[in-house]
Chain A
Amino acid sequence: MIGQNVPRTDGVPKVIGTARYIDDVPPLPGELWGVTVRSPVARGVLQRIELDPSFDWTDVTVVTADDMDDEHNVVALIEYDQPVLAKKQLRHMYEPIALIACADRDKAERARAAVKLHIDKQEPVLSIEDSLAAKHVVWGEDNVLKKYEIKQGDAEAAFQSCELVLTGTYRVHHQEQLYIEPQGVIARWFAGQDGQENLKILGSLQCPYYVHKALKKTFDLPDDRAHVEQTVTGGGFGGKEEYPSVVALHAALLAKKSGKPVRMIYGRKEDIEATTKRHPAICTVTIGCKNDGTFVAVKVDCLMDGGAYVTLTPVVLSRGALHACGAYRFQHHHVLAKALATSTPPNGAFRGFGAPQTIWAIERHVDAVARALGRDPHDLRDQNLFNEGDTTCTGQVLSVSVGGRACLDAATKAVDWKARRANIDRFNEKLARDGKRVRRGIGISTFMHGAGFTGSGERRLKGKVAVDLTPGGRLNIRSASTDIGQGTETVFRQIAASVSGVPFEHIDLEVPNTTKVPDSGPTVASRTVMVVGSIVGKAALEVAERVRAEMKDSGGTFAEAGDRLLKRVGGTVSSLQQYEPPVTRQFDEATYTGDAYPCFSWACDVAEVEVDLDTYETRVLKLWSASDVGRVINPILCAGQVEGGTLQAIGWALYEDVVWRPDGSIANARMTNYIVPTAVDAPPFETILVEIPFPAGPGGAKGVGELPMDGGAPAIASAVEHALSHELKWQGSLLPDLPLLPEKIFNRVRQLES
Chain B
Amino acid sequence: MTGVAGILDGVRFERARSLDEAVSRVGALVSSGEPFHVLAGGTDLVVESHLAPPSPVARPGRTILDISSVPELSKIEDRGDRIRFGGGVTYLTLRREPWASRIPLLARMARDVGAIQIQARGTLAGNIATASPAADGVCGLFPLDTLVGLRSASGERAVPLTEYFTGYKKTQRRPDELIAWVDVRVPARDAKWAWRKVGTRLAQAISKVALAAVIEIDKGIIQYARFGMASVAPVTVSLPSVRALLEGRGVDVDLAALDAAVDRDVAPIDDVRSTGDYRRHVARAVVRELTRSLTT
Q: What is the interface of chain A, defined by CB distance below 8 A to chain B?
A: 105-106, 109-110, 113, 267, 269, 435, 437, 614-615, 617, 619, 655, 659, 667-668, 670, 672-673, 675, 677-681, 742-743, 746-747
User: Contact: B198 with A617, CB < 8 Å?
Assistant: yes
Question: Which residue in A106, A655, A743 is a CB contact (below 8 Å) of B54?
Answer: A106
User: Contact: A746 with B278, CB < 8 Å?
Assistant: yes
Contact with A along B30-69 (1 / 0, CB 8 A): 0000000000000000010011111000001000000000
A667 to B271, CA, bound (A): 9
A673 to B198, CA, bound (A): 15
User: Contact: B203 with A678, CB < 8 Å?
Assistant: yes
A267 to B273, CA, bound (A): 22
Question: Which residue in B202, B278, B288 is a CB contact (below 8 Å) of A742?
Answer: B278
User: Contact: A614 with B272, CB < 8 Å?
Assistant: no
Q: Which residues of B contact A673 (CB under 8 A)?
A: 200, 206, 272-273
If A615-B198, A678-B115, A742-B278 touch, does A106 touch B9 (CB 8 Å cutoff)? yes
User: Contact: B203 with A668, CB < 8 Å?
Assistant: no
Q: Which residues of A contact B47 (CB under 8 A)?
A: 672
If A105-B6, A673-B273, A678-B201 touch, does A614 touch B289 (CB 8 Å cutoff)? yes
User: Contact: B202 with A746, CB < 8 Å?
Assistant: no
A115 to B197, CA, bound (A): 44
Q: Which residues of B contact A743 (CB under 8 A)?
A: 274-275, 277-278
Q: Which residues of A contact B292 (CB under 8 A)?
A: 435
Binding site secondary structure of chain A: loop
Q: Which residues of A contact B273 (CB under 8 A)?
A: 673
User: Contact: A681 with B203, CB < 8 Å?
Assistant: yes
6 additional A-B residue pairs with CB within 8 Å, beyond A106-B54, A675-B200, A677-B201: A105-B6, A267-B50, A655-B200, A667-B272, A742-B278, A747-B277
Q: Which residues of B contact A110 (CB under 8 A)?
A: 54
Contact with A along B85-118 (1 / 0, CB 8 A): 0000000000000000000000000000001000
Task: Considering the complex, give the chain B residue whose CB is closest to the CB of A113.
Answer: B54
A678 to B282, CA, bound (A): 23
A655 to B202, CA, bound (A): 11
Task: Considering the complex, give the chain A residue whose CB is closest to the CB of B204.
Answer: A678
Interface flag for B285 (CB, 8 Å): yes
Interface flag for B286 (CB, 8 Å): yes
User: Contact: B285 with A614, CB < 8 Å?
Assistant: yes
Rounded to whole Å, the gap between the CB of A105 and the closest CB of chain B is: 6
Question: Which residue in A267, A659, A746 is a CB contact (below 8 Å) of B53?
Answer: A267
User: Contact: B201 with A655, CB < 8 Å?
Assistant: yes
A428 to B50, CA, bound (A): 47
Rounded to whole Å, the gap between the CB of B239 and the closest CB of chain A is: 17
User: Contact: A269 with B206, CB < 8 Å?
Assistant: no
Rounded to whole Å, the gap between the CB of A593 and the closest CB of chain B is: 45
Rounded to whole Å, the gap between the CB of B248 and the closest CB of chain A is: 26
A105 to B7, CA, bound (A): 9
Task: Considering the complex, give the chain A residue whose CB is closest to the CB of B279.
Answer: A743
User: Contact: A614 with B206, CB < 8 Å?
Assistant: no
A105 to B204, CA, bound (A): 30
Rounded to whole Å, the gap between the CB of A701 and the closest CB of chain B is: 35
User: Contact: A437 with B289, CB < 8 Å?
Assistant: yes
Q: Which residues of B contact A746 (CB under 8 A)?
A: 277-278, 281
Task: Considering the complex, give the chain B residue whose CB is closest to the CB of A35.
Answer: B53
User: Contact: B282 with A614, CB < 8 Å?
Assistant: yes
Q: Which residues of B contact A106 (CB under 8 A)?
A: 9, 54, 60
User: Contact: B201 with A681, CB < 8 Å?
Assistant: yes
Task: Considering the complex, give the chain A residue whose CB is closest to the CB of B202.
Answer: A680
Task: Considering the complex, give the chain B residue whose CB is closest to the CB of A651.
Answer: B201
User: Contact: B201 with A675, CB < 8 Å?
Assistant: yes
Task: Considering the complex, give the chain B residue whose CB is closest to the CB of A745.
Answer: B278
Contact with A along B1-29 (1 / 0, CB 8 A): 00000100100000000000000000000
Rounded to whole Å, the gap between the CB of A615 and the closest CB of chain B is: 5
Q: Which residues of A contact B200 (CB under 8 A)?
A: 655, 673, 675
A547 to B155, CA, bound (A): 86
A57 to B99, CA, bound (A): 58
User: Contact: B275 with A659, CB < 8 Å?
Assistant: no
User: Contact: B54 with A109, CB < 8 Å?
Assistant: yes
Task: Considering the complex, give the chain A residue whose CB is closest to the CB of B286.
Answer: A614
Rounded to whole Å, the gap between the CB of A609 and the closest CB of chain B is: 14
User: Contact: B54 with A672, CB < 8 Å?
Assistant: no
Rounded to whole Å, the gap between the CB of A71 and the closest CB of chain B is: 34
Task: Considering the complex, give the chain B residue whose CB is closest to the CB of A749.
Answer: B281
Q: Which residues of A contact B54 (CB under 8 A)?
A: 106, 109-110, 113
Q: Which residues of B contact A435 (CB under 8 A)?
A: 292
Contact with A along B205-238 (1 / 0, CB 8 A): 1101000000000000000000000000000000
A670 to B50, CA, bound (A): 11
User: Contact: B286 with A659, CB < 8 Å?
Assistant: no
A709 to B274, CA, bound (A): 26
